[in-house]
Amino acid sequence: MRIPIYQIDAFTNEQFKGNPAAVCPLNEWINEDLMQEIAAENNLSETAFFVKKRDEYELRWFTPSGEIDLCGHATLASAYVICTYLDESLKSVKFNTKSGLLEVSIDGNLFTLSFPSRKGEKCDTPEELIKGLGKAPKEVYKSRDYLAVFESEQDVLSLELNMDELKKLDGFGVIVTAKGKEVDFVSRFFAPKAGVDEDPVTGSAHCTLIPYWKNILNKNELVALQLSARGGKLYCTDLGEKVKMSGEAVAFLEGYINV
């Protein structure tokens, strides 16, 4: 079997920046174990697989260690592959996923994702979170992930991480955030339980970040920067039950998997 594969750097217009995702278009679904093995072999934070069904696409995402319910950068990368290599006439793409119907609109080089809002609930600070980050945040919220809020951008940059402690938490991952110096807010994201110690740019984390910072800054339009080594910029909008995040993408690789 020959499976097409593309590697796309998402939330950036430069190669080797943003978040790399592998994208595999399929004519029909293949065995789930095989998809997981391909994702583990790619060893990227996510590998996306999609199958066209009429005017929409069924989309699934896998980390090196398991399937996940929502992924922003691999959704953006999938839309990029569809609009660049499969149907250049499209101005929007609809995906059926484990998180419901997701839509990506295209305007020139900018891809805008419409995702469900995941507002966090304020909670006590777990001891494992303090040990895992090397310092105590000023407040903590919980949705799918823990959201740890710090005083400054420097706090976010200077964490002393212990992944073994973060693995003990009951959430999927850990979002760390603070008000930005040159943007509205900054963040980092860690998901060691999913085989991703630090994710370069995380769309799904912004489903929680956007409603938080909308309330803090009292503005619906926000510019965000994820402070990973690769870095990535997102243009965000709070729409109540949904959030929008926009970014660019650039291709790095195209080829075939032989299995």
Q: Catalogue the active-site residues.
A: 46
Contacts of 155 (CB under 8 A, 6+ apart): 135, 178
32's enclosing H/E stretch is helix 32-42
- Calculated CA dihedral for residues 7, 13, 19, 24, nearest 10 degrees: -20
User: What's the token pair of residue 125?
Assistant: 């600070």
Q: What share of the chain is helix, strand, coil (3-state, %, to 5)?
A: 20, 45, 35
Nearest to 222 by CA among 186, 193, 250, 255: 186
Q: Per residue in 180-196, is it b (16+ CB within 10 Å) or e — as a string?
A: beeebbbbbbbbbbbeb
User: What's the token pair of residue 104?
Assistant: 């990506």
Q: What are phi and psi of 97, to 5 degrees?
A: -140, 180
Q: How far apart are CA 107 and CA 7, in angstroms?
A: 21
Classified as helix, coil or strand, 236 is: strand
Distance from CA of residue 131 to its chain's centroid? 25
User: What's the token pair of residue 82?
Assistant: 């569809």
